[in-house]
Chains A and B, each alone.
Chain A
Amino acid sequence: MSKMSAARQTEPWQTAEIPGPKKALLITNPQIVSALIKRSKNPILIVGHRAAEIKLGSGTLIDYVIRLAEAAGLQVVSAPSIRSEFIRRGFTRVAGMPLVDIANRLTDPDWMGLDGKGQYDLALFIGFKYYVGWLILSGLKHFSRNLKTVSLDMYYQPHASWSFPNISHDEWEKNLEAIIGGLG
């Protein structure tokens, strides 16, 4: 992506996806995410199928996702199609579940989570088509009152509680590295 003006960085990536009055807070510093994860009592990382497709740095996005999950001890829910990619890389704390299923469960105040320990209070999202993430995060914004959501994709997702702005691959990689570093 070419360099964008500051104003355009905080527009929805797909220009027509205007949400309404409540918009995501900007992750201006990756340490914000590290702090949110550390402060969370029960966080979850939700990973879309694109994590296995997107080349980032010297590897694939899923490699960063695994490092992030390991650094923070996160439970991961992945698209069923890429769960085996996690297993192949030796990461096993991952459940395969379709996105609409995990999102639907996150709106249920009585759901006790994958491990039966109770509701999640923080859900981080990465590896999604823009419009897919946009819609799912909208559902959670409106119908999952006690959940904070964080979009870690490289585009501004206004329906999340927190989101990166529209950034380049290089900036994205640097930010993910910084988050992982901040969890140490």
Chain B
Amino acid sequence: MVSDKGMRIKIGELKSDLGLFKDLEVSIGKVVSEEWLEEAGPTPFPTITDLRDWDLKLLQRYKPFYMPFCDLCCLCTFGKCDLTGDKRGACGLNMAGQQSRIVLLACCIGAATHISHARHLVDHLIEKFGRDHPIDVGGLSVEVEAPITRLVCGIKPKTLGDLEDVLGYLERELTRLLAATHTGQEESNLDFESKVFHAGMIDHVGLEIADVAQISALGFPKAEPEAPLADIGLGIVDSAKPVILVIGHNVPPAAEIVDYLMKNGLYGGVEVTGLCCTAHDVTRYNPKAKIIGPISWQLRFIRSGVADVIVVDEQCIRADTLIEAQKIKAPVIATSDVNCMGLPNRTRDEADRIVEDLVSGRQQGALILDPAKAAEVAVKTALLVAPKRMKFKALPDVSDIIEGARSCRKCDDCRRACPNDLPIREALAKALEGSLDALASLYDECVGCARCESACPINLPLHSFIVRAAERRLKEEKYKIRVGRGAIQDVEIRNVGSPIVLGEIPGVVAFVGCANYPKGGAEVAEMAIEFARRRYIVVASGCAAMSIAMHKDEEGKSPYEIFPGVFDAGGIVNVGSCVANAHIAGAAIKIASIFAKRRLRGNYEEIADYILNRVGAVGVAWGAMSQKAAAIASGFWRLGVPVIVGPHGLKYRRMLLGRKDKPEDWYVYDARTGEKVYVGPAPEHLFYAAETKEEAMVMIAKLCMRPNDTTKGRAIKLSHYIDLHKRFFGTMPDDIHLFVRTIADIPITMRDEVIKMLEEKGWKENIIPDPTLLPRLVRRRAGE
């Protein structure tokens, strides 16, 4: 069996006729894979068109609905071109093509970011631990170590070195995808959409490579359901100590900071705090590190003046971090070549000289591309700067707020710039009357973007006003989060595979993504708790996992203290940072592989068909903001997992919507007979934006239904759907007849009212097939 793996020979010293060679490394094409006996499927390392037929099947059912941000295309010098209505641009492209092209560009940006992140991590970890460092994400508990990579690439990586070959494939595909967006390439919106799916698929491989590498090499929790609890919240920092704040997604500098502190006996004396996914990963590295919160907490925490040194790596870092850090006199250390911040490159300078420049204020920051050196500089600087800074903060006094309110021009430009249309002017007016409550009440719904400040014609620091007004509550922000556990164990998959596929566990709901929430992060926690109580499996990652933590019950406990971290009914499972989303997709894939014994190796289409028809999983990205989130979502779409976003998610400009009123769209093959069988709109949509939390919750329950559900499973799923619909909408759903296949599907406690509705709709009983969209999986044709 030939794999895509290369052979490398390393020779310390070689004398030959040509001379003396030292540290010679020879790389030879491909080698024979030795152990994996599983037969390869049809699409190992698929090209951008290999899975096009599968994509078009999905797109036939889930058609794009576009909502252009702009009537124009301005990507080349022919333009701007007005594409309104049925106009075409100078290149011949129409609006549908242009919108799908923009979606592809967004997904390429997202996938490039994760793949580049993975490349950096793998290169760094190979340099530190060697190419032969073994892949281990769960010891004996995890045999299928990299399900997405096995599925897509058809290889079974065993060492860090094996991951390099996969990265080479991803980088090739990404280049092809980006090429397709050039003027004069694709014209069909559906071909662009197929490529969007491809971008999502390779993004998922990139996620997996990154997280598998860091789990294996950095000693993160290895598929541990009872991973330790860590502190999260603005109120958890001991500000009497020097504080280092790490922001971003790429953990090596933060991990080196922990190592440096440990090695020098300083750990208890310095606080290591984090924002965004680096925070997740540094607590996976050492659970004594502390998480401040999701991305939206950047400005409010920096301005609080608690951080003495700010270390940034990459992704989702505010582009005004240096300006904000200057306000609180905190030096900044940039550590990534994709985020140099305009700072001088001090990588080759001695650490003590850099420290001297930062502490003296001669330089505001430094770019240090060596994580170990960056860590040393960060710690030494924090220790020296902290006594000088005295936690100098950039938050106003109450008298400043009153004065600001007095000078307010009442133009409403702040509100008109606010993504959530918050009534800032009105709240400021109340401050003038002596109450800060209205301003404080904006805090929960504020996404922390500070566009209000940029818009203010008299430069009032309005975001700071809100944060200052809510200061007392900030100090009370003290919660617990379960550290990201990484992969799901094979034994967990064996335990839940059957009840998920049969529908008896009503679904797997994954709360993922960023913190651009329409009404604050509490909504995510409320949804997660609701579905955990209903005995769904709740999975979380990234900012959403943090928002779930920032909630307390009457006893003061956070959801991670109340619900177990096991991948089972009623669990709330934090897998970790953005790149740990791979384990959510991986769990769906492993259900097909471990429970159903379907072949994984290069067998994408069959596994996606299995998941679409049998695994009741739904992703919820309630505050999705980034291009990375778009890429992650598109990876789930191709895999057959629907994704729900909050209302801001409409700004991705395209939904993938099914039409339940078109029966012809909802036929599958019965793999037993080859007959085409109507299975109802299950799942109804592939990408859907809900306006409210309540609408999302009803849709989550609905999208968990799958054609393969047993009657018992369907009855359980229907009972949740009907119950949530009644609770939030006050009525029975009017589409129950589309989901009842036999009388046995009807929840026993709702039998009378459902049967009445079925009679009104002229419902007829149908069979439950062995469902597939792939004719090649039909075992026996009708009539044979």
* Residues of chain A at the chain B interface (Cβ within 8 Å): 1-2, 13-16, 18-22, 48-49, 79-81, 83-84, 87, 95-96, 98-101, 103-105, 107-108, 128-132, 135-136, 138-139, 141-143, 145
Contacts and interface: CB of A to CB of B under 8 A. Distances in A.
A131 B85 contact: no
B699 A83 contact: no
A20 B95 CA distance: 13
A84 B731 contact: yes
Contacts of A104: 63, 65, 655, 657, 659
Q: For A21, A128, A145, which residue has the most chain B Cβ atoms within 10 angstroms?
A: A21
Interface stretch (B151-159, B568-576, B646-654): B646-654
Contact of A83 (B68, B653, B731): B731
Contact of B66 (A20, A96, A142): A142
A134 B699 CA distance: 23
Q: 7 closest pairs, A vs B, by CB?
A: A20-B71, A84-B730, A139-B67, A135-B67, A135-B650, A104-B65, A22-B84
A87 B731 contact: yes
Q: For B83, B413, B421, which residue has the most chain A Cβ atoms within 10 angstroms?
A: B421
Contacts of B650: 100, 131-132, 135-136
B728 interface: yes
A72 to B, nearest CB: 24
Contact of A138 (B67, B657, B734): B67
A158 B487 CA distance: 47
Given A2-B412, A131-B419, A136-B650, 4 more contacts: A21-B84, A22-B82, A80-B698, A139-B68
Nearest to B95: A142
Contact of B85 (A13, A103, A130, A142): A142
Contact of A100 (B86, B655, B694, B730): B655
A95 B661 CA distance: 14
Given A19-B70, A22-B84, A98-B695, A81 B728 contact: yes
Given A2-B410, A142-B68, A100 B729 contact: no
Interface string B86-97: 100000000110
B69 interface: yes
B518 interface: yes
A141 B84 contact: yes
Contacts of A20: 70-72, 82, 84
A21 B417 contact: no
B538 to A, nearest CB: 23
B518 A129 contact: yes
B178 interface: no
A118 to B, nearest CB: 15
Contact of B657 (A81, A96, A100): A100
Q: For B96, B688, B729, which residue has the most chain A Cβ atoms within 10 angstroms?
A: B729
Nearest to B687: A100
Nearest to A4: B412
B67 to A, nearest CB: 4
A141 B731 CA distance: 33
A129 B731 contact: no
Interface of B: 63, 65-72, 82-86, 95-96, 410-413, 416-417, 419, 421, 455, 518, 647-648, 650-651, 653, 655, 657, 659, 661, 688-692, 694-695, 698-699, 725, 728-731, 734
B421 A83 contact: no
A19 B416 CA distance: 16
26 contacts: A14-B416, A14-B421, A18-B70, A19-B71, A20-B71, A21-B72, A79-B692, A80-B729, A81-B692, A81-B728, A81-B729, A83-B729, A84-B729, A98-B688, A100-B655, A104-B655, A104-B659, A105-B661, A129-B691, A131-B419, A131-B651, A135-B67, A136-B650, A139-B68, A141-B84, A145-B85
Contacts of B699: 98
Contacts of A143: 65-66, 95-96
B647 A21 contact: no
B668 to A, nearest CB: 22
Contacts of B83: 142
A98 B687 CA distance: 13
A87 B732 CA distance: 13
Contacts of A135: 67, 69, 650-651, 653
Contacts of A48: 691
A108 B66 CA distance: 13
Contacts of A18: 70
A142 B97 CA distance: 12
Nearest to B731: A84
B68 A129 contact: no
Contact of B421 (A96, A107, A130): A130
Contacts of B69: 135, 138
Q: For A1, A48, A101, which residue has the most chain B Cβ atoms within 10 angstroms?
A: A101
Given A80-B729, A104-B65, A99 B691 contact: yes
Q: For A13, A81, A83, A128, which residue has the most chain B Cβ atoms within 10 angstroms?
A: A81
Contacts of B689: 100
A115 to B, nearest CB: 13
B97 to A, nearest CB: 12
A159 to B, nearest CB: 9
Contact of A81 (B648, B659, B661, B695): B695
A161 B85 CA distance: 13
Nearest to B657: A104
A1 B606 CA distance: 57
Contacts of A1: 412
Contact of B84 (A98, A139, A142): A142
A47 to B, nearest CB: 11
A87 B650 CA distance: 29
Contact of B65 (A14, A100, A130): A100
A13 B416 contact: yes
A135 B730 CA distance: 28
Contacts of A21: 71-72, 82, 84
B201 to A, nearest CB: 25
A12 B66 CA distance: 20
A138 B650 CA distance: 11
A87 B413 CA distance: 38
A113 B656 CA distance: 21
Given A81-B694, A96-B734, A104-B659, A15 B728 contact: no
Nearest to A88: B730
A23 to B, nearest CB: 9
A107 B86 CA distance: 13
Nearest to B416: A15
A15 B455 contact: yes
A103 B95 CA distance: 17
A49 B519 CA distance: 14
Given A20-B72, A81-B692, A132-B647, A96 B67 contact: no
B261 to A, nearest CB: 43
Given A21-B82, A48-B691, A142-B84, A107 B731 contact: no
Contacts of A98: 688, 690-691, 695, 699
Nearest to A16: B417
B659 A105 contact: yes
B735 to A, nearest CB: 10
A95 B735 CA distance: 12
